[in-house]
Amino acid sequence: MSVPGDLLISVSALAARLAAPAAASGGAGAGGTPAPTVLDVRWRLAGPPGRDDYLVGHVPGAVFVDLDTDLCGAPGAAGRHPLPEPAALQRALRAAGVRDGHPVVVYDGGDGTAAARAWWTLRWAGHRAVWVLDGGFPAWRDAGHPISTRPPDPEPGDVTVRPGALPVLDAAAAAALAAGDGVLLDVRAAPRYRGETEPVDPVAGHIPGAVNLPAPGHLDRAGHYLTPDGLRARFAEAGVADGVRVGAYCGSGVTAAQAVLALHLAGRPDAALYVGSWSDWIADPDRPTEPPRG
């Protein structure tokens, strides 16, 4: 099974591209490949803001992009991190220097979730040339590569947002997968899936029929993605087989985006994201939950 080679980039490969002679002027990098636009998307669900970490130190030339306000819509009935309005997303990406046809590298604080949601959003918006920095900022720092504290002043980009390039699940489609039309993966921690605890949303439990496959298992202990074979074996244990439709959800579509990236690495580019996820599902009191509400 072929696996796309344009999903992850190592810190050494990124360093080589950024150090190429033409990189400083925005021209071609190593081997004639354009030097990438680098986006820092560090984020924590409970704060503090990722910008604080960015200002302490970041990959030289990286532009900070806020997951909550730049890459997602305002929270509401559609979930805590709904799809962004295309025109607003286009403005944010252009302000960060993203250009049509020009490669982008995204990184986060190391758990891979925010970077995966940034990757997914750019790909959904029609920008295919996006890599996730494997291991995130910790891998860059620990390898001894340069760190900057000065935010750059990027030249405005010209990217055009063309939404719909990746499959999206709504509540009805997610329910169909969970009911046996495929496999719906719930990638939250097992106690949240079982309804034993719910630290974020007002209702505990899961979508009936969903299969629990906690997201941290997509990475090894060093914070790097498992090999494609390792990921395929992990997904197979959850019932994901060739020809079986698959989608993923979490609390609000951030951690689930990492599962979708892992599924792409495993050779499943058809994997769909339930963007609204649990925070959207429970907004309708008529939707069933397991265990039942109340």
Which residues, other chains included, contact 268 with Cβ-Cβ below 8 Å and sequence gap of 6+?
235, 240, 246
Catalytic residue flag (residue 250): yes
pLDDT beyond 90 at 263: yes
Q: Yes or no: say if 183 and 245 are a contact pair by the CB < 8 Å rule.
A: yes
C-alpha distances out from residue 34 to 11, 28, 103, 105, 145, Å: 17, 4, 7, 12, 20
Q: Which of 20, 250, 257, 266 is catalytic?
A: 250
- The answer to whether the Cα torsion of 154, 160, 164, 167 is positive or negative is negative
pLDDT value at position 6? 78
d(CA 180, CA 184) in angstroms, rounded, equals: 9
- pTM here? 0.94
pLDDT value at position 35? 85
Report which of residues 273 and 77 the model is more confident about: 273
8-142 and 168-281 agree in CATH topology: yes
Which residues, other chains included, contact 48 with Cβ-Cβ below 8 Å and sequence gap of 6+?
none
pLDDT value at position 47? 81
Query: What homologous superfamily is domain 8-142 in, according to CATH?
Result: Rhodanese-like domain (3.40.250.10)
| Three-state SS at 30 | helix
User: Taking Cα atoms as reference points, which of 105, 100, 99, 150 lies closest to residue 12?
Assistant: 105
- Determine the distance from the C-alpha atom of residue 156 to the mean position of all C-alpha atoms in its chain, rounded to a whole number: 24
C-alpha distances out from residue 153 to 60, 67, 156, 206, Å: 12, 19, 9, 44
Bond before 291 cis per omega within 30 degrees: yes
d(CA 106, CA 134) in angstroms, rounded, equals: 9
Helices (H), 129-275: 136-142, 171-176, 190-193, 228-237, 255-265
Q: Which CATH architecture has domain 168-281?
A: 3-Layer(aba) Sandwich (3.40)
Which residues, other chains included, contact 89 with Cβ-Cβ below 8 Å and sequence gap of 6+?
70, 71, 121, 125, 161
Task: Domain ranges for the chain, please list them.
Answer: 8-142, 168-281
d(CA 242, CA 1) in angstroms, rounded, equals: 11
pLDDT value at position 33? 63
- The answer to whether the Cα torsion of 83, 88, 94, 97 is positive or negative is negative
The single residue listed with the structure tokens 């302490």 is: 56
pLDDT value at position 48? 86
Residue 220: pLDDT band by 50, 70, 90 thresholds? very high
DSSP symbols for 54-87: HHH-BSTT-EE--TTTTSS---BTTBSSPPPPHH
DSSP code for 178:
I
- What tens digit of pLDDT does each residue of 137-148 get? 999 999 999 999
- Look up residue 145 and give its two tokens: 């590569």
Q: Yes or no: say if 61 and 146 are a contact pair by the CB < 8 Å rule.
A: no
Q: Yes or no: say if 192 and 204 are a contact pair by the CB < 8 Å rule.
A: yes
Residue 2: pLDDT band by 50, 70, 90 thresholds? very low
- What tens digit of pLDDT does each residue of 43-67 get? 998 888 899 999 999 999 999 999 9
Strands (E), the chain: 8-9, 37-40, 63-64, 104-107, 130-133, 168-169, 183-186, 211-212, 246-249, 272-274
